[in-house]
C-alpha cells in the first residue's frame, strides 16, 4: 500500500527576501525562513537596524545578509533586484499606518500610506517575479483590516483591501509559471510599534472584544504561517489569504 507523505517544510537551498525585516513581524518572518534552511536577505531603510538584525541572526547560526532599501523608491528597487541573484521567496513585511478619522485625513498621509502598502508592495512582487524562472512563493503581509473595516482606519483598510485584490490577480496571471502569491493577514500583534495601542484602555478593550481567542497575537504566531506558505507544504495554495486573527473576521 502506498502511503502519502507530508511535503517538506524545509527551505534548504532557497533564497528569501524579507522587506521590512529588521524588526517586529518582518524579523520574525526572517528568522522563521532561516530556521527552515533558507538564506535570508533582510532589506529595510535603516542601516543600523538591518546590521543589528543580521548580526543577531548570523550569531545564532543562520544564513543571512542585509541590504538598505527604501521600498517606495522604485528606481532603487529596480537597481536592488538587478544587483541581486534571483529570489525563490519574497516576504514583504514593509508597511505603514497613519490612523485618523476619515473626515480629517490629510492627502500627505494618504499618499504616504498608499505608497508603502500598495505601490511599493505591487512593484516588489513584480520585480521579484521577473527573476523566478523556476517558480517561487510571494507572500505579502496584509492585515485582517484587508477583510473588514475599522474605526480611524479608512486609508489603511483601503490599502490592505487593495493588496488582497492585486495579489489574487497576480496569482492567476503567474500560476502558469508556478509562482504562488498569497497573503498573511494578522490581527493586532504585540510589537514595539503597537505598544501605544495596547496602552490605551479603550482600544485594548475593543481589541480584546474582537479577538475571540483569549489573548492578542505575538510575532511567533506568524512564523509557522510564513514557513508554510514559502515551502512545498503549500504547493497547491495560491491567490488566498491566511488569516492569523484569533477569530476576529469569523465573527
pLDDT at residue 169, as a whole number: 98
4 in a domain, yes or no?
no
CB burial readout 119-155, b (16+ within 10 A) else e = bbbbbbbbbbbebbeeebbbbbbbbbbbbbeeeebbb
Condensed to tens digits (0 to 9), the pLDDT of residues 27-37 reads 999 999 999 99
pLDDT at residue 14 is higher than 90: yes
251 in a domain, yes or no?
no
Task: Provide CB contacts within 8 A for 208, sequence distance 6+.
Answer: 216
Show the CA angle centred on residue 193, arms to residues 189 and 197, nearest 5°.
Answer: 70
pLDDT at residue 10, as a whole number: 98
Predicted TM-score (pTM) above 0.75:
yes
Per the prediction, the chain carries an average pLDDT of: 97
67 in a domain, yes or no?
yes
pLDDT at residue 192, as a whole number: 85
Looking from the CA of 74 toward its CB, the CA atoms found within 13 Å total 10
Distance between CA atoms of 226 and 231, rounded to whole angstroms?
Answer: 9
Distance between CA atoms of 182 and 176, rounded to whole angstroms?
Answer: 15
Distance between CA atoms of 134 and 85, rounded to whole angstroms?
Answer: 13
pLDDT confidence tier of residue 193, bands split at 50, 70 and 90: confident
Condensed to tens digits (0 to 9), the pLDDT of residues 52-97 reads 999 999 999 999 999 999 999 999 999 999 999 999 999 999 999 9
Condensed to tens digits (0 to 9), the pLDDT of residues 128-170 reads 999 999 999 999 999 999 999 998 999 999 999 999 999 999 9
pLDDT at residue 67, as a whole number: 97
249 in a domain, yes or no?
no
Q: Looking at the annotation, which residues are catalytic?
A: 156
47 in a domain, yes or no?
yes
Query: Concatenated DSSP letters for 88-106?
Result: SEEEE-------B-GGG--
CATH number of the CATH domain containing 31: 3.40.50.720
Mean pLDDT score, 97-116: 96
152 in a domain, yes or no?
yes
| Beta bridge mates, 43 | 19, 67
Identify the three-state secondary structure at position 15.
Answer: strand
pLDDT at residue 27, as a whole number: 98
Pairing of strands 39-44, 15-19: parallel
Residue holding cell 504561517?
A: 225
20 in a domain, yes or no?
yes
Residue 41: domain span? 15-244
Distance between CA atoms of 165 and 190, rounded to whole angstroms?
Answer: 27
**Alpha-carbon torsion (226, 231, 234, 238), positive or negative:** positive
pLDDT at residue 55, as a whole number: 98
pLDDT at residue 242, as a whole number: 98
234 in a domain, yes or no?
yes
What cell was used for 13? 537551498
Per the structure, the count of domains in the chain is 1
Amino acid at each position: 500500500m502506498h502511503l502519502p507523505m507530508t511535503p517538506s517544510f524545509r527551505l534548504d537551498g532557497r533564497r528569501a527576501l524579507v522587506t521590512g525585516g529588521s524588526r517586529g513581524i518582518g524579523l520574525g518572518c526572517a528568522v522563521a525562513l532561516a530556521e527552515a534552511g533558507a538564506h535570508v536577505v533582510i532589506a529595510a531603510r535603516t542601516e543600523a537596524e538591518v546590521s543589528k538584525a543580521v548580526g543577531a541572526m548570523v550569531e545564532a547560526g543562520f544564513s543571512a545578509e542585509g541590504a538598505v532599501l527604501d521600498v517606495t523608491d522604485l528606481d532603487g528597487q529596480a537597481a536592488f533586484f538587478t544587483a541581486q541573484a534571483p529570489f525563490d521567496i519574497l516576504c514583504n513585511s514593509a508597511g505603514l499606518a497613519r490612523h485618523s478619522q476619515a473626515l480629517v485625513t490629510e492627502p500627505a498621509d494618504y499618499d504616504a500610506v498608499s505608497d508603502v502598502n500598495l505601490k511599493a508592495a505591487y512593484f516588489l512582487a513584480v520585480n521579484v517575479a521577473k527573476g523566478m524562472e523556476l517558480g517561487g512563493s510571494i507572500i505579502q503581509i496584509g492585515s485582517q483590516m484587508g477583510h473588514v473595516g475599522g474605526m480611524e482606519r479608512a486609508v489603511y483598510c483601503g490599502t490592505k483591501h487593495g493588496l488582497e485584490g492585486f495579489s489574487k490577480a497576480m496569482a492567476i496571471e503567474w500560476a502558469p509559471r508556478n509562482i504562488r502569491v498569497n497573503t498573511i493577514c494578522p490581527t493586532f500583534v504585540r510589537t514595539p510599534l503597537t505598544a501605544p495601542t495596547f496602552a490605551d484602555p479603550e482600544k485594548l478593550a475593543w481589541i480584546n472584544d474582537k479577538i475571540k481567542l483569549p489573548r492578542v497575537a505575538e510575532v511567533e504566531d506568524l512564523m509557522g504561517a510564513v514557513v508554510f506558505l514559502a515551502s512545498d507544504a503549500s504547493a497547491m495554495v495560491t491567490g488566498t489569504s491566511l488569516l492569523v486573527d484569533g477569530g476576529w473576521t469569523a465573527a
